[in-house]
Amino acid sequence: MNGLARLSSLKTGDRGATAERSDRRRRGMYILPSMFTALNIGAGYFAITQSLQGSTLHPEYFDHAALAIAIAIPFDALDGRIARMTDTTSDFGRELDSLADVITFGVAPSILAFTWGFRMLPETMNPVLHQKLLQFGAFLCFLFLLCGASRLARFNISHDPVPKNPGRPGRKYFVGMPIPAAAGVIAAVVHFFGGIPVSMAPVAIVWMLLVGFLGFLMVSTWRFWSGKELNFTNRQPFQWIVLFGLVLYALVAFSDYVLAAMALTYMFSGVIARLAYSWQRHRRAAHTHSVSTTTH
């Protein structure tokens, strides 16, 4: 009897030790997604410091800031995916991720947008125009930051932040343009011009409109593709591996053109989807009205 009790206690001890080791491994795995979030924050901080150092004589600093923001986007996507894949999601991780997004995709691109698009305008232009461009530019860059923070807050409290498309149930969409995508547009445009800052008033006005439009897209209810239906944990055909390699090569070899094309395509995809939806709704309303008129 004592032998059975001793054996039972040994088994219980083994189970306890196994559970303790499992908990220790689980606590350790929380570090992995947090590391990618930390890299996200680091890229944002680096982008801010580079933007502050940029000038007409040293446009490479602006280019470095733009690239840092672009590089942070995969980090932001990976931390969440890794947390879900390893079952290490937590409230702390979600809050840290949101704070990282405010820094890297809110503060950093707003500072870059102002320093690159408005601060470097030549003082030889009309002083009144120069002052107005600086003031409105600073206000719209702040508006971009405010809209980005509001977009994140709305996403965090939403019960269904990624609604499904009723026409294609498997495809999910974000409500409003995601803040990393909006920051990516700013970074892609700056990188496309090699970091050379804006030096003409008409270009500054166009830049002002773009920054303001990006802020509007983030707080809008327009739908943008989320890519949530893509599952990289499943086995993929060889063609997808080849395609991924080609895209990666294009990003390295022709980063200025490829990043600009990807960012602007994503931005206009939401705009075109909204226009198409409005047109279809208008057609349905006109058809319903004509049917009701004919019936009466």
Which residues fall within 8 angstroms of residue 273, CB to CB, at 6 or more apart?
222, 223, 224
Domain that residue 244 falls in:
18-295
Partner residues linked to 172 by β-bridges: 164
Q: Would you state the torsion angle of the CA atoms of residues 148, 154, 156, 161, taken in this order, to the nearest 10 degrees?
A: -110
pLDDT tens-digit map of 257-295: 999 999 999 999 999 988 888 888 877 776 676 666 666
Report the C-alpha gap between 65 and 116 in whole angstroms. 10
**90 found inside a domain:** yes
Report the C-alpha gap between 153 and 87 in whole angstroms. 24
**4 found inside a domain:** no
Burial class (CB in 10 A: 0-12, 13-18, 19+), 83: buried
**56 found inside a domain:** yes
**13 found inside a domain:** no
Q: What is the mean pLDDT of the chain?
A: 83
**263 found inside a domain:** yes
Partner residues linked to 175 by β-bridges: 223
Give me the number of domains the chain comprises: 1
Give me the pLDDT at residue 251, please. 81
Burial class (CB in 10 A: 0-12, 13-18, 19+), 216: middle
Which DSSP letter does residue 223 get? E
Model pTM score: 0.81
Give me the pLDDT at residue 241, please. 76
**174 found inside a domain:** yes
**97 found inside a domain:** yes
**2 found inside a domain:** no
Residue 236 pLDDT > 90, yes or no? no
Give me the pLDDT at residue 233, please. 57
pLDDT tens-digit map of 219-234: 999 999 887 666 655 5
